[in-house]
Amino acid sequence: MHRESTKHAGAMHAVLGLSIDEVRKAVDEAKDAGIVAVANHNTAEQIVITGEPNAVKRASEIASGKGAKVIPLKVSGAWHSELIRGAEEDFSAFLDEVSFEEAKRPVLFNVTADYETRAQEIRNIMARQLCSPVRWYDIICKMLEENVEVFAEVGPKKVLTGMLRKIIPKTYPHEVYNVDGIRGLETFLKAVT
């Protein structure tokens, strides 16, 4: 991905305050300025766009005109866009050399916002994730439809936890844990066992 980002200048902007459909329309209207796409659907009204700098700027101007707040992100590439397609091809070739087995438990993938257990499909989806939008909001909505009540963010920051708080209704029964080290893991394990 780094190699592709050095070949193709890219930009990403967070668009706040518009629905995914409104952001998609802004992106479509800006395509005459170059490559631009939705990169991340984080919450109902927090969407990240990606692509060539002029096209991202144009889509941002259109979104701003519709009332959105737009924040340029400090990134080194146009992640989740066609501009890094060469990385996807190389990653796919690498994955062809890795042994995959059927998943024992279904896994939700950010490309499809759906479950998959079949080994070959998991391999295909994993390769597609580099250039496809991250459908975080759709994944969380699917989990809420299935009455999932326990969420754990594994890692040193609380970015996903913050997005969860914007997605999950306050009246929905749930617990959110941050597993950011041994203490976080111990707290989480005590709560769920």
pLDDT range class, residue 157, cuts 50, 70, 90: confident
Domain boundary among 33, 48, 79: 79
CB contact at 8 A, 90 and 11: no
67 lies in a domain? yes
Other beta carbons less than 10 A from residue 59's beta carbon:
30
101 lies in a domain? no
139 lies in a domain? no
Q: Tally the domains of the chain.
A: 2
Average pLDDT score, the chain: 95
Model's pTM, two decimal places?
A: 0.92
43 lies in a domain? yes
Which residue type, as a one-letter code, is found at position 168?
Answer: I
33 lies in a domain? yes
CATH of the domain at 72: 3.30.70.250
Largest interatomic CA distance in the chain: 54
* Triad 19, 137, 115: Cα angle to 5°: 135
Tell me 111's DSSP state.
T
Other beta carbons less than 10 A from residue 55's beta carbon:
24
Q: Domain range for residue 16?
A: 2-79
Domain boundary among 48, 79, 110: 79
- Higher model confidence: residue 155 or residue 24? 24
Alpha-helix runs per DSSP H in the chain: 2-7, 20-30, 53-65, 85-96, 119-128, 136-145, 159-167, 182-192
pLDDT range class, residue 106, cuts 50, 70, 90: confident
β-strands 36-43, 46-51: how paired? antiparallel
Which residue type, as a one-letter code, is found at position 154?
Answer: V
Conformational region of residue 155, where left means phi above 0, alpha means psi within -120 to 50, and beta covers everything else: left
Which residue type, as a one-letter code, is found at position 93?
Answer: A
Domain boundary among 79, 113, 135: 79
124 lies in a domain? no
pLDDT range class, residue 56, cuts 50, 70, 90: very high
90 lies in a domain? no
Region 159-186 average pLDDT: 94
Residue 156's pLDDT is 86
CA 8 to chain centre: 21
111 lies in a domain? no
Q: Is the pLDDT of residue 168 over 90?
A: yes
Residue 60's pLDDT is 98
pLDDT range class, residue 98, cuts 50, 70, 90: very high
Q: Nearest 5°: phi and psi at 132?
A: -95, 155
CB contact at 8 A, 86 and 8: no
